[in-house]
Amino acid sequence: MNRETQSNRGDELRKALCYTKKNGYDLLQPGEEEAMESYCQGYKSFLDGGKTERECADRTVAMAEAAGFRPYQRGMALKPGDKIYQVNRGKAVMLAVIGRQGLDQGVNIGAAHIDAPRLDLKQNPLYEADELAFLKTHYYGGIRKYQWVAIPLELHGVVVLTDGTVVRVSIGDGEGDPIFTIDDLLPHLGSEQSKKPLGEAIPGENLNILVGSRPIGEDEGSDRVKLTALELLNRKYGIVEEDFVSAELSAVPAFPAKDVGFDRSLIGAYGQDDRVCGYAVLAAILQLENPKRTAVCMLADKEEIGSEGVTGMQSAAFDTFMNDLCAGQGVDLRVCYEHSFCLSTDVTAAYDPNFADVFEKRNSALVNYGIGICKYTGSRGKSGASDASAEVVARVRRCLNQAGVVWQTAELGKVDAGGGGTVAMYMAKRNIDTLDAGVPVLSMHAPFETVGKLDCYMTFKAMKAIYEAAI
């Protein structure tokens, strides 16, 4: 063989044998860029309307009702094509579109979580120090504390009175609303603080939210600024200090979702882990008509603190919902589960060239390379991973290839660098074949996280393909 033939042969072999990742923008089909843009508009408005899991659940219900879903009650007769939803305590939502096949053939589940890292108020939060009023917080989920100081914050949540009245609180994102903040040390006096490791520079007990400074009354009391805050809260919400005890109030970043970059190819916003996947699986099931296999969408709470609690993925609420559906068809839940498939859609770390040393680039998800498929998550020796079987990965690969979905493989950082988990293991524990997949994120868990629009859209497209295929 001469040299030229040899190099042609190399090209041919490379084409035939090698797995090469491609930038998703080189793979988009005609018209897809417009579809992606309009999808992302809807996603950004979902983010702006849902800063807590309760708000996301409310928003989900409104969207589901508009798409013809109706609330499900135990014992309700269902037929193929019916669209239903059930809300678990206002914080988690399960939706289903009944398939033409029986539930004994299993279901296709898209599972994501709608809680996000934030600062919860303590149960006795309000105090005054040196004529400034503050709220004490206890952070929820894995935050980097130094990122939460000196940024604008909103307050969202509920206060439940002893008579059962639920008072909804939302301050910061309304027209003309005030916002809040946590103060940080000025650099002029920060030399000692700057010597501390990042994780220690801002202790958790310093994450106190500044809520006022105007004293009330003319006496010499040491709580006149606190009293102002209490009076305003009482006037607006009818609450007194003891009501904080039965409240769930959270401080979340006061930034709306925005396009990022000259080319507007990215979205920056709070809470994209995991509302970016939550919106994708929701949007996919809302578009579904008369599927072969029953489709289930699970939007869970409490993932960021271990999926515990009655609204987390470890709760029997999901099994109860599924069992109720199965009972309607005289199917054993165990039979349904063993034939089911779950795409556990949660974000993964996007390879960040600014922190290249914690990533192993060959196996990292890249921005704009599509939905990242993680055969396993976990940390160290895959600890805490459900580690999907090769057979399951093959089925998903085939389904996504057939649907023209741009996908890539993903692994969260170098083997020894750290790790993370998702709800996948709790689905797998139920004897449901489960695979992790999701959108790669830059600055995950930061008050302002960044994702690629292409990857958001491909996650939606992947879930739609799975719901439509008898995977």
Interacting residue ranges for Mn ion, rule: CB under 5 A: 273-274, 346
Q: Smallest distance, Å, CB 116 to Mn ion? A: 7
> Three-state SS for 207?
coil
Q: Smallest distance, Å, CB 67 to Mn ion? A: 25
- Is the Cβ–Cβ distance between 292 and 105 less than 8 Å? no
Q: Smallest distance, Å, CB 409 to Mn ion? A: 18
Task: Please state, in angstroms and as integers, the Cα–Cα distance from residue 332 to each residue in 110, 214, 286, 413, 429, following that order.
Answer: 21, 63, 27, 40, 17
For Mn ion, the closer CB: 274 or 411 = 274
Q: Smallest distance, Å, CB 418 to Mn ion? A: 13
For Mn ion, the closer CB: 172 or 419 = 419
In the block, residue with structure tokens 């503050």:
134
How far apart are the two ends of the chain, measured CA to CA in Å? 46
The per-residue DSSP string of 163-189 comes to: TS-EEEEEESSSTT---BB-----GGG
- Relative to beta strand 132-140, strand 118-129 is antiparallel
For Mn ion, the closer CB: 97 or 143 = 143
For Mn ion, the closer CB: 317 or 423 = 423
CA distance 440 to 369: 9
CA distance 336 to 326: 8
For Mn ion, the closer CB: 125 or 253 = 253
For Mn ion, the closer CB: 53 or 346 = 346
Q: Smallest distance, Å, CB 142 to Mn ion? A: 7
Q: Smallest distance, Å, CB 276 to Mn ion? A: 9
For Mn ion, the closer CB: 212 or 419 = 419
- Give the DSSP H or E segment for 414: none
Q: Smallest distance, Å, CB 254 to Mn ion? A: 20
Residue nearest to Mn ion (CB): 274
Name the nearest CA neighbour of 300 among 89, 111, 83.
111
Q: In what order do the strands lie in the sheet with 107-113?
A: 70-71, 83-88, 92-97, 294-300, 107-113, 341-345, 433-438, 371-374, 407-409
